[in-house]
A and B are shown apart, each in its own frame.
Chain A
Amino acid sequence: MWAYVGRRLLLAIPTLLGASIIVFAMVHLAPGDPIAAVMPAESSQAEIEATKRAYGFDKPLPVQYLVWLGRVAQGDLGKSIATRRAVILDVRDALANSLVLALSSSLLSFVLGIALGLLAAFRQGRLLDKAASAIAVIGVSVPHYWAGIILIIVFSVQLNWLPAMGAADDPGLLPYLRHIALPTVALALIPLGIITRVVRSAALDVLSQEFVLALRAKGLVSRRVFAHVVKNAAPQILTVLGLQFGFQLGGSVLVEAVFSWPGTGYLLNLAIFQRDIPVLQGVILVLATFFVLLNLAVDLLQTLVDPRIARH
């Protein structure tokens, strides 16, 4: 078990390095001169060169990468071109907001999705199954930014119940919940659909296996059969949950833009249009790291649930 953990941790290092190289290269290959953006128009060539040196843009790319990586390792993601604040501060605030949103929407979609999926599997072919499948199809097919706009129109504009945008401006839990409610629902739609479907098919898979027949034959009550099925379907479900949680964090750009939720997605969107390269790098890198660590955690959790995986 520990050897497996060690191996997985080692494997995470090249993955992270790979991600950092891609992030670095992507941003430098994109059009837009980062220096032009920070210099006043009447700057002399000497001033431009000095700024280039200060940012390290005068060195060859591999050297720039290593310097950048060294700083990143110390938690220095550079300074934002637009706000001239340390990127780490912007990313930290945004990540906290995104994490909360990802957690709340994951909670909503996981609970609902697993419940619906299991119910559908155990009631295969019945009305409940059809209803659950319909919800699943709607969840994966409705664009969540569109759903977000509809939610705003209904709950903010028409009914005037919930705020349409932004994070809470007043302290306290209640204003916070009021602000996060709509983005949570919008962001939960897609994972709700996916999880319902995956859970349903995973449970059906297990249900069709002979050991379930054996369990029933030996007279086990359906509640106990249910427990066996859930346990056997759990590794597959866990993988999906882990991935979905990651997607919630990295894939909330549109929802955050629609609701002006001040998270990483919102920041990413802004940084792209502002050509704010340090912010862009910082956000993507932090998200990528988070994704890698999350996958690692899910894999480890899986081996706890099903020790056979570690042996492979």
Chain B
Amino acid sequence: MRRVVIVLLATVLMLPATALAQGTLRIGMTASDIPYTGGQTDNGFEGFRFVGYQIYEPLIAWDLTRGDRLAPLVPGLAESWEARKDAPTKWVFKLRKGVTFHDGSPFNADAVVFSYESIKKKDAPHFDSYGSGQVSFRLASLTGITKIDDHTVEIETNKPTSFVPYQVCYMVIVSPTQWNKVKDWRKFAEQPSGTGPFRVTRFVPRERLELEANKNYWDAKRRPKIDKLVLLPMPEPTTRLAALRSGQVDWIEVPPPDSIPQLKGAGFQITMNSYPHNWTHTLRLDKEPWNNKLVRKAANYAIDRVGICKSLLNDTCIPATGIVYKGHPWFGKPKETYDYNPAKAKELLKQAGFDASKHPAKAVHLISTSGSGQMLPLAMNELIQKNLKDVGIDVDLQPVEWNTLLTRWRAGFKTPDNEGLNAWNISWNFLEPWSGFGRFFHSKSVVPVAVNTMPYINPEADKLIEEAERTFDVGKQNETLAKLHEIIVDDAPWIFVVHDQNPRALSAKVKGFVQPQSWFADLTSVTVR
């Protein structure tokens, strides 16, 4: 036996260390599968971060080059855009010239119309029902598109709205030439073609996606410095950690927080930054127990947020007592502070008529096992379950895969599948007012138009959202949204839990990465030595 071990070890020792091409960046993602590569990607914003915004580009893009401010919108495939003075529901986009897709065909107005139709025009032969399902709720105000000339398109909206750029930034442009070659979205996804800084070279479902630098990228300043990018799905935090520490990957998303001190000690870089993120339980408001505002407030007072951030997550998050964090222009002055107060929670629950023996408060919450922005969902939810149990609310947690959770959420609570549920645990962004408020809290945003799944119906909130939407002055818009935020915090349609700090761990070889205050990331500045 001993000899066998010695022989085995000796063999292993003689194996060469894995040799790597210069400038390959290998990333361990939290997704359990490769995000959809056919354009309008899935797996939430991690899909946009590593696939959607790397292979493809939107007309209006995010500036992710700085970490010291909230990432603003900048021209992407459109050089400029504005609402027409004579017809405020019509937006004219001047397109960038001289851009080509990975397949060599030119980017032009036809490609924009084609991409738009693949999302919005159900009877078009190139309608992508899967991709459309992923993104259409983000483009809820857009109703039509017209080609003006080869480099100008006009997008029409259902009403005059300042939110248009905040929706257009989520629609990426795909190559009609490549699609017409294969005429099938699944095949297109295996040989995709966009205009982005990276192009796909190898696609192994469920295992890996390999991309190479697009040497012809139109923006010379943003041509990737690395040759190759490899994306690996690793939903298990411990697997990601082991892969990073054994040198199989150079970059992991969300390292287990308790490993951070060790990682730092071993020479790894930990990057963190605040960004518009909230981790919540979005509650179902038309059914017991969450149809009662007192119970919702009780739940919010029952959560030990400081404990979660300090003890469980090693300071990789900050407590959330609203949709946005304190100091954000939309925070305002909410009445409810939601500090940790189990006694108050029990009192509120009693006022609501719930009682542990006679009338217990019970709920079923759908949670994910991993996923974009979900942090450490299993450990966090167990703690939350305990917090709620301590004040007398019994929550049954049902874990599903991340993308499955997103699919079920978009369908709303009223499907046979979701009928028995009382909440979903999904982390949201508030990059802009539509994602932060419009899609959730307007009575007209109920499923299937957008994703007001709860549903949250409040005429006062409707009024404020519409006012913000009509306001093109950002300062005034912020004031309106702060008023709206105060109302929503008081209504407590969600259990607010934490704001993530987006921890990622990078090997010492990775240089030049700037962690922006955003969900997305610019990989073009990164080098690997």
User: Are A and B physically bound partners?
Assistant: yes
When the two chains form their complex, are residues A37 and B408 in contact, meaning their CB atoms are under 8 A apart? yes
Which B residues from 124 to 160 make CB contacts under 8 A with A? 129-130, 132-133, 136-137
- A160 and B412 alpha carbons, distance in the complex (Å): 47
- A174 and B19 alpha carbons, distance in the complex (Å): 12
When the two chains form their complex, are residues A275 and B400 in contact, meaning their CB atoms are under 8 A apart? yes
- A275 and B1 alpha carbons, distance in the complex (Å): 44
Residue of B nearest to A156 (CB): B246
- A149 and B237 alpha carbons, distance in the complex (Å): 12
From A40, A181, A274, A275, name the one whose CB has the most chain B CB atoms within 10 angstroms.
A40
Q: Cβ of B243 < 8 Å from any Cβ of A?
A: yes
Q: Which of B133, B247, B415, B417 contacts A160 (CB 8 A)?
A: B247
When the two chains form their complex, are residues B232 and A166 in contact, meaning their CB atoms are under 8 A apart? yes
Binds B, one of A52-60, A61-69, A205-213, A257-265: A257-265
B residues near A85, Cβ cutoff 8 Å = 186, 205
Q: Which of A33, A36, A157 contacts B242 (CB 8 A)?
A: A157
When the two chains form their complex, are residues B243 and A164 in contact, meaning their CB atoms are under 8 A apart? yes
When the two chains form their complex, are residues B242 and A153 in contact, meaning their CB atoms are under 8 A apart? yes
Which A residues from 106 to 158 make CB contacts under 8 A with B? 112, 116, 135, 149, 152-153, 155-157
B482, chain A: closest CB distance, angstroms: 31
- A158 and B136 alpha carbons, distance in the complex (Å): 47
B residues near A40, Cβ cutoff 8 Å = 129-130, 132-133, 136, 410
- A175 and B16 alpha carbons, distance in the complex (Å): 10
Q: Which of A37, A157, A178, A257 contacts B245 (CB 8 A)?
A: A157
- A170 and B248 alpha carbons, distance in the complex (Å): 12
B4, chain A: closest CB distance, angstroms: 8
Residue of B nearest to A85 (CB): B205
When the two chains form their complex, are residues A273 and B133 in contact, meaning their CB atoms are under 8 A apart? no
Q: Cβ of A74 < 8 Å from any Cβ of B?
A: no
Q: Cβ of B12 < 8 Å from any Cβ of A?
A: yes
A residues near B232, Cβ cutoff 8 Å = 166
- A203 and B412 alpha carbons, distance in the complex (Å): 63
A116, chain B: closest CB distance, angstroms: 8
B residues near A169, Cβ cutoff 8 Å = 208, 230
Contacts A36-B416, A170-B18 hold; do A257 and B236 have CB atoms under 8 A apart?
yes
Which A residues from 66 to 118 make CB contacts under 8 A with B? 82-85, 90, 112, 116
Contacts A40-B129, A274-B401 hold; do A161 and B12 have CB atoms under 8 A apart?
yes
When the two chains form their complex, are residues B245 and A163 in contact, meaning their CB atoms are under 8 A apart? no
Residue of A nearest to B401 (CB): A273
From B137, B206, B238, B245, name the one whose CB has the most chain A CB atoms within 10 angstroms.
B206
A89, chain B: closest CB distance, angstroms: 9
B residues near A280, Cβ cutoff 8 Å = none
- A185 and B27 alpha carbons, distance in the complex (Å): 27
B residues near A156, Cβ cutoff 8 Å = 242, 245-246, 248
Q: Cβ of A165 < 8 Å from any Cβ of B?
A: yes
1/0 per residue, CB under 8 A from A, across B382-414: the answer is 000000000000000001110110011011100
B424, chain A: closest CB distance, angstroms: 14
Residue of A nearest to B242 (CB): A164
1/0 per residue, CB under 8 A from B, across A278-294: the answer is 00000000000000000
Contacts A40-B133, A164-B246, A178-B15 hold; do A270 and B401 have CB atoms under 8 A apart?
yes
When the two chains form their complex, are residues A41 and B206 in contact, meaning their CB atoms are under 8 A apart? no
Residue of A nearest to B129 (CB): A40
B residues near A82, Cβ cutoff 8 Å = 33, 403
Residue of A nearest to B205 (CB): A83
When the two chains form their complex, are residues A161 and B13 in contact, meaning their CB atoms are under 8 A apart? yes
- A149 and B16 alpha carbons, distance in the complex (Å): 23
B394, chain A: closest CB distance, angstroms: 19
When the two chains form their complex, are residues A165 and B206 in contact, meaning their CB atoms are under 8 A apart? no
Residue of B nearest to A42 (CB): B448
- A185 and B75 alpha carbons, distance in the complex (Å): 54
A residues near B400, Cβ cutoff 8 Å = 273-275
Q: Cβ of B369 < 8 Å from any Cβ of A?
A: yes
Residue of A nearest to B451 (CB): A41
1/0 per residue, CB under 8 A from A, across B227-268: the answer is 000101010101101110111100000000000000000000
Q: Which of A84, A112, A152, A262 contacts B206 (CB 8 A)?
A: A262
1/0 per residue, CB under 8 A from A, across B19-56: the answer is 00000000000001100000000000000000000000
When the two chains form their complex, are residues A41 and B242 in contact, meaning their CB atoms are under 8 A apart? no
Q: Cβ of B60 < 8 Å from any Cβ of A?
A: no
Contacts A161-B12, A165-B234, A270-B206 hold; do A41 and B248 have CB atoms under 8 A apart?
no
When the two chains form their complex, are residues A166 and B129 in contact, meaning their CB atoms are under 8 A apart? no
Q: Cβ of A267 < 8 Å from any Cβ of B?
A: yes
A77, chain B: closest CB distance, angstroms: 15
A259, chain B: closest CB distance, angstroms: 8
A residues near B238, Cβ cutoff 8 Å = 149
- A85 and B347 alpha carbons, distance in the complex (Å): 54
Contacts A32-B417, A41-B411, A275-B404 hold; do A174 and B248 have CB atoms under 8 A apart?
no
Contacts A42-B136, A83-B206 hold; do A260 and B239 have CB atoms under 8 A apart?
yes
Q: Which of A42, A135, A175 contacts B18 (CB 8 A)?
A: A175
- A90 and B33 alpha carbons, distance in the complex (Å): 13
B residues near A39, Cβ cutoff 8 Å = 133, 411
Q: Cβ of B288 < 8 Å from any Cβ of A?
A: no
Q: Cβ of B313 < 8 Å from any Cβ of A?
A: no
Residue of A nearest to B137 (CB): A41
When the two chains form their complex, are residues B246 and A160 in contact, meaning their CB atoms are under 8 A apart? yes
A91, chain B: closest CB distance, angstroms: 12
When the two chains form their complex, are residues A181 and B12 in contact, meaning their CB atoms are under 8 A apart? yes
When the two chains form their complex, are residues B416 and A166 in contact, meaning their CB atoms are under 8 A apart? no
B residues near A175, Cβ cutoff 8 Å = 18
When the two chains form their complex, are residues A152 and B18 in contact, meaning their CB atoms are under 8 A apart? no
B129, chain A: closest CB distance, angstroms: 6
Contacts A33-B415, A40-B136 hold; do A84 and B130 have CB atoms under 8 A apart?
yes
1/0 per residue, CB under 8 A from A, across B421-455: the answer is 00000000000000000000000000111000000
Q: Cβ of B82 < 8 Å from any Cβ of A?
A: no
A residues near B186, Cβ cutoff 8 Å = 84-85
When the two chains form their complex, are residues B448 and A165 in contact, meaning their CB atoms are under 8 A apart? no
A residues near B206, Cβ cutoff 8 Å = 83, 90, 262, 267, 270
B residues near A274, Cβ cutoff 8 Å = 32-33, 400-401, 403-404
When the two chains form their complex, are residues B133 and A41 in contact, meaning their CB atoms are under 8 A apart? yes
B residues near A262, Cβ cutoff 8 Å = 206-207
When the two chains form their complex, are residues B205 and A164 in contact, meaning their CB atoms are under 8 A apart? no
Contacts A40-B132, A83-B205, A83-B206 hold; do A162 and B12 have CB atoms under 8 A apart?
yes
- A178 and B11 alpha carbons, distance in the complex (Å): 10
A240, chain B: closest CB distance, angstroms: 21
1/0 per residue, CB under 8 A from B, across A17-45: the answer is 00000000000000111001101111000
Query: Contact residues of A with B, CB < 8 Å?
Result: 31-33, 36-37, 39-42, 82-85, 90, 112, 116, 135, 149, 152-153, 155-157, 160-167, 169-170, 174-175, 178, 181, 257-258, 260, 262, 267, 270, 273-275
3 interchain residue pairs of minimum CB distance: A40-B133, A273-B401, A42-B448
A/B interface sample: 30 pairs, CB < 8 A:
A33-B416, A36-B411, A36-B417, A40-B136, A41-B411, A83-B206, A85-B186, A85-B205, A90-B205, A90-B206, A155-B12, A156-B242, A160-B247, A161-B13, A163-B18, A163-B243, A163-B248, A164-B243, A165-B242, A169-B208, A174-B16, A258-B236, A258-B239, A260-B239, A270-B33, A273-B32, A273-B400, A275-B400, A275-B401, A275-B404
